[in-house]
């Protein structure tokens, strides 16, 4: 079915060119139709074409020439719905409807992503809050928009684009200029067949949906400009605040005289009202009174020289390896031990790890005394407590 004369039986010798309609190759004479192209064509399929004639060719003619050069035979080409008919208009509206709904869903996704209340709140089993619907709604809107764009494209292709069956004989070698021109014309005709130029309703709705969908890629950037993603992020903050007392689990505050040298007290933020496990879970802190000789050789981290009060230091109880509670304190050696994987931290070197898998010091809580002589925090930990995570240093 190709445009070339091919023997039915490939084992038969080629037919006589004179009887088969072939002509010998032309020598190059400046004609834009190259020798390479001519050799692939029957002379009666591609007559001599001058420069003038080539430039004056219509798009359809160029497409025909290009098809012949490429050895393409268009077997059939037809529209499923009659162009300009009511059925075609209806199909066009359905496609545009899909794209428009997709655009609306993308807009809904952006609004939900930025403004929907997503933070976890305490609930009883079986209870739901708005935050429970945050992720499902994001999935529904983004997935729905993708689905609708896909459905629109399928409907467009099925109902509005011409259905064409073509056969092409493959060839080797570089493409001459005429082939490039013809290919461009073919592509142009393809775009016109799709109807993107004249179907303004579809074009606008697709551009709306596609453009808005592109915005999804910018969501993390735009969302970050509208709302600081680090603000109030539980990973970066604990419940400690400026001048908050250090209290035992029963709520009693601590004075320096309450602790003997070498003693350790587990303390929590003295929050007004009730303390719930969620608010203090990551705030558990070890208040340690070093022996005087340990305090004398204490080495503070740069920038944290004023975090301790005399021989008293306060470190996070959350291990910097994988987050176990570090609660074993060897007062004679000044070592804090984590029972999970045996990491050890040196209290005289600002809780620097000296053994085991932990690689970061325990977070240090800056302390001082208030007017009544009780320990208070100067402010929250300066770094995220517990195990490392990829952007933990970017705390605002
Ligand atoms: S969690 Fe502490 S050493 Fe692994």
Rounded to the nearest whole angstrom, what is the distance from the C-alpha of residue 355 to the centroid of ligand 1? Answer: 11
**Predicted local distance difference test score (pLDDT) of residue 47:** 58
Give, for 73, the enclosing helix (H) or strand (E): strand 72-78
On the 0-12 / 13-18 / 19+ scale of CB atoms within 10 A, 40 is: buried
Distance CA 231, CA 225 (A): 12
- HSE-up (13 A, CA, CB side) for residue 311: 19
328 in a structural domain: yes
pLDDT beyond 60 at 20:
no
The end-to-end CA distance of the chain, in Å, is 70
Closest C-alpha to 248, from 262, 237, 264: 264
Q: Are residues 198 and 128 in the same domain?
A: no
- Same-domain status, 106 and 128: yes
- 257 and 318 inside one domain: yes
**How much is the pTM?**
0.53
Q: Are residues 87 and 151 in the same domain?
A: yes
Number of domains forming the structure of the chain: 3
Residue pair 318/292 in contact by the 8 Å Cβ criterion: no
pLDDT per residue as tens digits for the range 292-305: 999 999 999 999 99
Residue 371 within a domain: yes
Residue 217 shares a structural domain with residue 256: no
Residue 115: its pLDDT value, please? 86
Shared-domain flag, residues 248 and 371: yes
- 53 occurs within a structural domain: yes
**What residues does ligand 1 touch, defined as CB less than 6 Å away?**
319, 321-324, 338, 340-341, 343, 356-358
Supply the pLDDT for residue 141: 95
Mean of pLDDT over the chain: 82
Atom of ligand 1 nearest to the CA of 323: 1
Given this model, what pLDDT does residue 273 score? 66
Residue range 150-164, pLDDT digits in tens: 999 999 999 988 888
φ, ψ for residue 237 (rounded to 5)?
-125, 155
Looking at the DSSP bridge assignments, the partners of residue 72 are 168
Q: Is residue 29 part of a domain?
A: no
If asked whether residues 65 and 160 sit together in one domain, one would say: yes
Query: Of the residues 322, 325, 385, 386, which should be mutated to test ligand 1's pocket, given the most ligand atoms within 8 Å of the CB?
Result: 322
Instruction: Identify the pLDDT of residue 7.
Output: 38
How many angstroms separate the alpha carbon of residue 268 from the centre of ligand 1? Answer: 21
Same domain? For 207 and 270 the reply is no
**pLDDT confidence of residue 213:** 82
> Is 364 part of a structural domain of the chain?
yes
**Ligand 1 mean position to 383 CA, how many Å?**
18
Of 169, 185, 209, the position where a domain reaches its end is: 169
Asked whether residue 35 is assigned to any structural domain, the reply reads no
Which residue owns the Cα nearest ligand 1 atom 4? 341
Q: Is the pLDDT of residue 43 over 60?
A: no
What is the model's pLDDT at position 66? 79
Report the CATH number at residue 256: 2.102.10.10
What whole-number distance in Å separates Cα of residue 263 and Cα of residue 330? 10
CA of 182 from ligand 1 middle (Å) equals 70
Residue 319 within any structural domain of the chain: yes
pLDDT bracket for residue 176 (50, 70, 90): confident
| Low-confidence winner among 36-50, 73-87, 317-331 (lowest mean pLDDT) | 36-50
Residue 109 in this model has a pLDDT that exceeds 90: yes
For atom 3 of ligand 1, the residue with the nearest CA is 341
Query: Same domain, yes or no, for 261 and 372?
Result: yes
Q: Give the closest residue (by CA) to ligand 1 atom 1.
A: 322
User: Distance, CA 290 to ligand 1 centroid (Å)?
Assistant: 23
Lowest mean pLDDT among 180-194, 327-341, 344-358: 180-194
pLDDT: is 239 or 26 the higher one?
239
95/117 same-domain check: yes
Instruction: Calculate the CA dihedral of residues 362, 368, 369, 371 and round it to 10 degrees.
Output: -140
Q: Is residue 152 part of a domain?
A: yes
Q: Are residues 90 and 134 in the same domain?
A: yes
Contact yes or no for 263/289 (Cβ under 8 A):
yes
Q: With 70 as the cut, is the pLDDT of residue 9 above it?
A: no
pLDDT of residue 276: 63
Helix (H) or strand (E) holding 164: strand 163-168
Average pLDDT on 205-228 reads: 80
200 and 260 both lie in a single domain: no
Domain with 161, as residue range(s), is 44-169
CA of 336 from ligand 1 middle (Å) equals 11
């Amino acid at each position: 079915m190709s445009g070339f004369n091919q023997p039915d039986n490939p084992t038969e010798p080629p037919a006589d060119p004179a009887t088969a309609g072939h002509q010998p190759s032309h020598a190059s004479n400046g004609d834009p139709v190259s020798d390479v192209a001519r050799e692939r064509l029957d002379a009666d399929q591609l007559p001599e074409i001058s420069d003038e004639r080539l430039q004056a060719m219509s798009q359809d003619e160029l497409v025909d020439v290009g098809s012949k050069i490429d050895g393409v035979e268009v077997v059939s080409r037809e529209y499923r719905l009659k162009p300009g008919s009511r059925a075609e208009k209806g199909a066009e509206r359905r496609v545009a409807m899909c794209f428009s709904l997709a655009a609306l869903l993308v807009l809904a996704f952006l609004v939900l992503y930025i403004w929907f209340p997503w933070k976890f709140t305490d609930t009883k089993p079986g209870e739901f809050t708005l935050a429970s619907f945050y992720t499902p709604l994001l999935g529904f809107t983004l997935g729905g928009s993708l689905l609708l764009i896909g459905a629109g494209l399928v409907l467009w292709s099925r109902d509005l684009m011409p259905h064409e069956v073509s056969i092409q004989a493959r060839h080797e070698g570089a493409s001459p200029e005429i082939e490039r021109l013809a290919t461009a014309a073919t592509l142009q005709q393809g775009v016109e067949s799709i109807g993107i130029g004249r179907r303004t309703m579809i074009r606008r709705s697709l551009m709306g949906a596609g453009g808005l969908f592109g915005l999804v890629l910018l969501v993390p950037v735009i969302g970050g400009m509208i709302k600081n993603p680090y603000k109030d992020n539980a990973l970066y903050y604990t419940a400690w605040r400026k001048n908050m007392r250090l209290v035992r689990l029963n709520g009693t505050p601590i004075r320096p005289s309450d602790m003997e040298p070498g003693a350790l007290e587990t303390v929590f933020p003295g929050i007004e009202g009730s303390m719930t496990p969620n608010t203090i879970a990551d705030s558990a802190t070890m208040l340690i009174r070093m022996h005087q000789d340990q305090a004398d050789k204490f080495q503070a981290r740069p920038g944290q020289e004023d975090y301790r009060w005399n021989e008293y230091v306060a470190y996070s109880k959350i291990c910097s390896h994988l987050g176990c509670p570090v609660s074993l304190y060897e007062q004679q050696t000044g070592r804090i031990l984590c029972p999970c994987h045996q990491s050890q931290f040196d209290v005289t070197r600002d809780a620097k790890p000296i053994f085991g898998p932990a690689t970061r010091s325990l977070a240090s809580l800056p302390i001082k005394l208030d007017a009544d002589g009780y320990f208070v925090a100067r402010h929250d930990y300066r770094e995220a407590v517990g195990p490392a995570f990829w952007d933990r240093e970017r705390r605002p």
